[in-house]
Amino acid sequence: MVPFLRILGIETSCDETAAAVVERDAEGHCNVLSDVVLSQLDEHSAYGGVVPEIAARAHVEALDELIEQALKRANVSLDDVDAIAATSGPGLIGGLLVGLMTGKAIARAAGKPLYAVNHLEGHALTARLTDGLSFPYLVLLVSGGHTQLILVRGVGQYERWGTTIDDALGEAFDKTAKLLGLPYPGGPAVERMARDGNADRFNFPRPLVGEARLDFSFSGLKTAVRQAAQDIAPLSDQDVADICASFQRAISRTLKDRIGRGLQRFKREFPTTGEKPALVVAGGVAANLELRATLQALCDKNGFRFIAPPLSLCTDNAVMIAWAGLERMATGVAPDTLDVQPRSRWPLDANAETLIGFGKRGAKA
């Protein structure tokens, strides 16, 4: 039987500094003892996006204190944890260096094993933390840096079924918001404006809809939005609302086609999973209510469970990093050595073809 385990998790891959203490019992149940997150939104908002140098400096200034807070809130000391888990990639290399080097230092000083965690694996395994989900299942990861449809067969067993061939979905939201003069972060701003807009006013393209492959593309849609805005400039508030609503509608219809095909493929490959199959959505864009409603309806139609973890566990956090480390410990994965290096690109599926949204440096395709 797997023993009771407790891990300190550290997350610094982008613009949130986070630390958490998480437990996993012998039956695989999770108990979050502490979850501390410091957002850098104010530091980056004036620039309309994350500035890597500012993010790295903020992590350096905040991380030690956040780790102390996480341990204090959990009412434990380093002696009481079994291992350290730190995000090692993918992400901004400066931030990754801060978190991983801190994790290494703590592991060495406290004599604890270190797990260098893939940030995407943290997202992929979160539904097992929140819902006790069994393998296999599908994960739609939609964030500022990633848009991927991933088959999760088991811990460390991932197949990328689809990825963006250009922009990530969160990036498309942010760039559209900036184009329209809306504040950063762009996703929530576009969604707010869309509520008062006419989604039928602009017939924006639905990229790759109808194609058999399960990849995504958003650069053409972003270009269409820019052209529409230029054609009717100067923009009134209603114009902006209509563009946002039409843009969001195009994304919703695109996801309906892309993910619908993925659900059908899952049912073909896993006709008898023993329980109702599941689609999990993770990443910051998962907060968008229209996109959630689209995916919920799609899952209902296809006989799938739709699982959207709480927003605090969809965006960057250390709980998912700690949990990924716990899952690896529980399955007998050996810890990493202290010479492990951070990776700005780190695909979950190392066998997948290299594409822009793959998380691996390579040619555009």
Query: pLDDT tens digits for 120-154?
Result: 999 999 999 999 999 999 999 998 788 999 999 99
Binding-site residue numbers for substrate are: 141-145, 174, 187, 191, 288
pLDDT of 359 over the 60 cut: no
Binding-site residue numbers are: 119, 123, 141-145, 174, 187, 191, 288, 316
State residue 225's pLDDT score. Answer: 97
What phi and psi values does residue 312 have, to the nearest 5 degrees?
-65, -25
Q: What is the mean pLDDT of the chain?
A: 92
State residue 355's pLDDT score. Answer: 60
What phi and psi values does residue 267 have, to the nearest 5 degrees?
-65, -35
pLDDT of 360 over the 70 cut: no
Which of the four pLDDT bands, split at 50, 70 and 90, describes residue 52? confident
Maximum C-alpha span of the chain: 66
pLDDT tens digit sequence for 81-120: 999 999 999 999 999 999 999 999 999 999 999 999 999 9
Q: Name the helix (H) or strand (E) containing 19.
A: strand 16-24
Q: Which range (67-81, 109-123, 172-186) has the least confidence?
A: 172-186
Which of the four pLDDT bands, split at 50, 70 and 90, describes residue 43? confident
Domains belonging to the chain, first-starting first, are 5-127+312-347 (3.30.420.40), 135-310 (3.30.420.40)
Q: What is the mean pLDDT of residues 163-181?
A: 93
Q: What is the mean pLDDT of residues 180-205?
A: 95
pLDDT tens digit sequence for 285-308: 888 999 999 999 999 999 999 999
Q: What secondary structure letter does DSSP report for 284?
A: G
Q: What is the mean pLDDT of residues 226-251?
A: 97
Q: What is the mean pLDDT of residues 327-338?
A: 96
Binding-site residue numbers for Fe cation are: 119, 123, 316
What is the percent of the chain with per-residue pLDDT over 90, rounded to a whole number?
Answer: 82
Which of the four pLDDT bands, split at 50, 70 and 90, describes residue 363? very low
Q: What secondary structure letter does DSSP report for 71?
A: H
d(CA 137, CA 127): 10
d(CA 262, CA 256): 10
Residue from 74, 99, 67 nearest 22 by CA: 74
Which of the four pLDDT bands, split at 50, 70 and 90, describes residue 358? very low
pLDDT tens digit sequence for 154-164: 999 999 999 99
pTM: 0.92
Residue from 50, 143, 144, 52 nearest 98 by CA: 52
pLDDT tens digit sequence for 14-27: 989 999 999 999 88
Question: Using an 8 Å Cβ cutoff, are 7 and 85 in contact?
Answer: yes
pLDDT of 353 over the 80 cut: no
Annotate 72-118 with three-state secondary structure.
HHHCCCHHHCCEEEEEEECCCHHHHHHHHHHHHHHHHHHCCCEEEEE
Taking each helix axis from N to C end, the angle separating 318-330 and 119-131, rounded to the nearest 10 degrees, works out to 80
What is the percent of the chain with per-residue pLDDT over 70, rounded to a whole number?
Answer: 96
d(CA 52, CA 106): 24
SS3 30: strand
Neighbour tally for 276: CB within 10 Å: 9
Question: Using an 8 Å Cβ cutoff, are 36 and 66 in contact?
Answer: yes
d(CA 183, CA 90): 26
pLDDT tens digit sequence for 252-279: 999 999 999 999 999 999 997 678 999 9
